Amino acid sequence: MVLNGIESGLGIGKAFPSTGSAKQTSAVEGAGKFFSELVSKVNDLQNQSDSAIQSLASGENKNLHEVMISMEKASVSFQFMSQVRTKAIEAYQEVMRMQM
């Protein structure tokens, strides 16, 4: 099994930017963009699940397994988003507890 490092410029330098307001602002904007995209994708999966349920209830769709799969995708993605949010809040609280 081959383990690859974190690619696409997401190294330790991105986690701990050097002093400078420009880099700090871009890190904050990057985190905001990440969470915005995450919420958008979860919302899209929830909407797809809702439409699959409605089509099953109206008789348009006869594939119950596809509806269940879309519901599980939406559920797992929401749980993932919730855990990411929880970990981000815990990390923020830990940073705020640090003494300088």
pLDDT, the chain, mean: 81
- Distance of alpha carbon 10 from alpha carbon 60, whole angstroms: 45
pLDDT confidence of residue 24 = 58
Please tell me the distance from the alpha carbon of residue 63 to that of residue 5, in angstroms, as a whole number.
Answer: 40
Question: Is 14 inside any structural domain?
Answer: no
Token output for 15: 């986690």
Write down the pLDDT at residue 6: 47
Residue 72 belongs to some domain of the structure: yes
Domain, as residue range, for 61: 35-97
- What average pLDDT does this structure show over 51-57? 93
80 in any annotated domain: yes
Distance CA 86, CA 100 (A): 25
Q: How many domains does the chain have?
A: 1
Q: How confident is the model at residue 61 (pLDDT cuts 50, 70, 90)?
A: confident
Residue 5 within a domain: no
Helix %, strand %, coil % for the chain, to 5? 75, 0, 25
